[in-house]
Amino acid sequence: MSQPYKLKTINALTGVRFLAAMLVFLFHFGAAFSERIGMPTFVSTFLHNGKVGVSMFFVLSGFILTYTYTQKLAHKFKFADFFIARFSRIYPVYLLALLLMLPVLPKALDTWSALCVLAMVQSWTLPFSGFGGTWVMQAWTLSVELFFYICFPLLLLVMRNIKLNTIAVGLLLTSLLIVAFGTPWVDPGVKFVPFLPISLTPILPILRLPEFIFGMLICKLMFSAPQIGEKISSFELSLASLLIIMVLLAFFDVVQAKSLATVVFGILIIQLSYGRNWMVSALSSKIMLLLGGASYALYILQGPIRQWLLWAVDHAILTEQVASLLNPVFAISISIVTFIYFEQPARLAIKRFFDWISTSYLNYVRCKGY
């Protein structure tokens, strides 16, 4: 296997995270609204299919983690450092979302449900149960991500010396699983999974795992065959991929057809990683880097923000129309403030805390002469 190719435009993937988060936001905020005001069918269909943004996050997660840790594996992969980094990345804002939601929960939580959510294992059930949406609905995806994180070190080791032909087969198989089972549309409360009877349906994280592995394999493909990315990264081909995704989401309602958008998104990741055009420049701009950085907060805080606005409407503090107008403004503004003044400082504080523990332990061992 050739040496990993150094990505030159990885910042574009930060920008595209904001677009994925906005797809999910528009699904929750705009899909039903677009139907009420009589917008064209293709617009409503596009908004209803916005949940594909979750699938994009899963693919991006597999890709970025593989990009980050593949070269580290060649030296020494420290499991503790990996899990500390993941914990500091997701748990502080996750906990913030839970605390913000607590006063306005539609119904009280039982102790078992609360413990499952706090431990981030609420989605480790059959998708039909709907249990993954407990407390903060969007948090079900973080529970799935935790499962991915646990699997990742082993998957990375398995793929350590993977050959190009094996990568191609893996991409084909994961693409087929994503499309055939319609995995981007399998979430808590789904009534059925195509081709899978209830007796053969695995827990939700396993069903979504092909998307994460697909992202890992996309990264491995770029490491093994950088010439592919260089050949397909023109503006015209990148735009074609983007338009295909939009068409699939706007004009198709068959689950297998619109699941192709996730596969095409994998191609777009390669194109954005190698491209040198205005699309890449726009996604790498300062404003998109800020919005992309805040995309996690936007994704997880949108539920509590919406619930607080509904509370304000119920208590006659705001009208429904004003609350609807304020929703996107509040969501984006609060996510940026959270990213700058809470998420980043909390991540740094957790890292420093564990570094202090590690240093203190090493000093103790030296003093004792072990």
Percent of residues, the chain, with pLDDT higher than 90? 84
CA dist 305 and 53 (Å) reads 19
Kindly tell me if the per-residue pLDDT of 87 is higher than 60.
yes
* Contact indicator for 73, 156 with CB cutoff of 8 Å: yes
Query: pLDDT tens-digit profile of 95-127?
Result: 999 999 999 998 889 999 999 999 999 999 999
238-266: per-residue pLDDT in tens?
Answer: 999 999 999 999 999 999 999 999 999 99
Q: Whole-angstrom distance between the N-terminal and C-terminal Cα of the chain?
A: 41
Nearest to 92 by CA among 112, 120, 72, 113: 120
When pLDDT is averaged across residues 160-179 and rounded to a whole number, the result is 97
Q: Pinpoint the alpha helices (H) of the chain.
A: 11-36, 41-48, 52-73, 79-101, 111-118, 140-158, 164-180, 204-224, 226-232, 235-251, 255-274, 278-283, 286-293, 295-314, 320-338, 344-368
The model's pLDDT over 282-296, given as tens digits with 9 standing for 90+, comes to 999 999 999 999 999
Distance (Å) of CA 164 to CA 48, 73, 227, 265: 37, 19, 13, 20
Q: What is the pLDDT of residue 189?
A: 94
Q: Is residue 7's pLDDT more than 50?
A: no
**pLDDT surpassing 80 at residue 180:** yes
pLDDT at 1: 41
What pLDDT was estimated at residue 10?
A: 83
> Given this model, what pLDDT does residue 8 score?
55
Tell me the average pLDDT across 16-30.
95
- Taking 60 as the threshold, does the pLDDT of residue 9 lie above it? no
**pLDDT computed for residue 370 by the predictor:** 58
Min mean pLDDT across 21-35, 150-164, 351-365 is at 351-365
Q: Per-residue confidence at 78, pLDDT binned at 50, 70, 90? A: confident
Contact 117, 134 (CB under 8 A): yes
Map out the domains of the chain as residue ranges. 11-368
Other Cβ atoms within 10 Å of 298 Cβ, number: 26
Q: What is the pLDDT of residue 332?
A: 97
Q: How many CB atoms lie within 10 A of CB 46?
A: 24
The per-residue pLDDT of the chain, averaged, comes to 93
Identify the pLDDT of residue 241: 98
- Compute the distance between CA of residue 288 and CA of residue 257 in angstroms, rounded to an integer: 30
Q: What is the model's pTM? A: 0.95
